[in-house]
Structure 1
Amino acid sequence: MHDELWKFVLDLYARPGIETTCLQLQADGANVCLLLCGAWLDARGVACTCERVRLLEAIATPWHEDVVRPLRELRQQWRAQAVQDPELMHLRESVKALELNAERQLLQRLHDQAAPWPLATQGLSMTWLPALLPATAAHSSAALHVLGVAARETQAWLEDASPLSS
């Protein structure tokens, strides 16, 4: 498995406020894995085109709807009951691990599609995050801004920390 996008996502998610931002975007109906991939592409300077957006959405939407979302809904459904039932809590933690693995698999699929795309050679006219945000979450521009700034900082830090940059 190529870990470039996964490492970026883990480092980005560890930044202050990003978990809350991602949960807000998720609650607003956004596919957070798709947005995290978009944040990675924006931070790297990969040109955003309508065709590329459609390619990523064609990968992300079915996997998110058929795999990730049902696992998340089951985990959330068991939240209150699991507090009182240790066996259910154990099962809930197993479902949570499956959900995380499903998200990682989705990110890998997105990485496999997008990693070969070259960096933009001129100014970007369309950016990834707004292009990947569903219309139902259009009011989330402040959250997108937070995610975008943190993504650029994360990418800069990763490039500085890379042994190839020395």
Structure 2
Amino acid sequence: MCADLWSFALSMYARPGIEAACLRLQAQGADVCLMLCGAWLEQRGVIPTAERLQALRQIAGPWQTQVIEPLRQLRVQWRTNAQQDKPLAALRERIKSMELEAERHLLMRLEELIETWSSGERADQQHWLERLAAEDAANLDHDALQQLRVAATGT
């Protein structure tokens, strides 16, 4: 079990199929940082409550909207032109690094909040993933959510 959320996220993302599952969820509107956080919380046996879900969303939502998404949009927007323009490609790589750093900071902020929550409260599945994705749950790839859950049990 990874001690911190960032290490857990890196370990998860490196597992076969998880990057593709995360990208599918992201394309469907899910906040991948929240999904990885949810998988970590499930692994740790933390019980989801309405207050905890709201607290996570209050931290993640503005950071995603104001910091991560603008960087991602710029990186995606430059993808085609960067293939023919080496200086632009170099800038795009810097944007990509900044996007990853912004995601790391979001996960650190989420972990700071979570530190006060009890773990090991119950051994069964806590279903953080579905509850965090509840707003878009009908449209999300449930196989991808299950893939995250299964991978989390092996980290």
The question of a shared fold, defined as TM-score above 0.5 by the shorter chain, is answered with yes
Question: What's the TM-score bracket when you normalise by the shorter of the two chains?
Answer: over 0.9
CA distance in 2 between counterparts of 1:83 and 1:128 reads: 39
Report the Cα offset of residue 136 of structure 1: 2.9
Could you say which residue in structure 2 is the equivalent of 1:146? Answer: 147
Could you say which residue in structure 1 is the equivalent of 2:19? Answer: 19
TM-score between both structures, scaled by the size of structure 2: 0.92
Match of 2:154, SS? helix
Structure 2 residues not aligned, in runs of 5+: none
Could you say which residue in structure 2 is the equivalent of 1:119? Answer: 119
Structure 1 residues not aligned, in runs of 5+: 155-166
CA 1:31–1:88: 2 relative to 1, 3 Å: same
Structure 1 vs Structure 2: percent identity of aligned residues? 51
Any residues of structure 2 matched to 1:1-166 within 5 Å, and which? Answer: 4-122=4-122, 126-139=126-139, 140-154=141-155
CA distance in 1 between counterparts of 2:123 and 2:102 reads: 34
CA distance in 1 between counterparts of 2:72 and 2:134 reads: 19
Deviations 1:87-146 (A, max 9, x none): 000000010010000000000000000122112434668520001114335342111000
CA distance in 2 between counterparts of 1:125 and 1:16 reads: 22
2:130 and 2:137 in contact (8 A); partners too = no
1:30 and 1:134 in contact (8 A); partners too = no
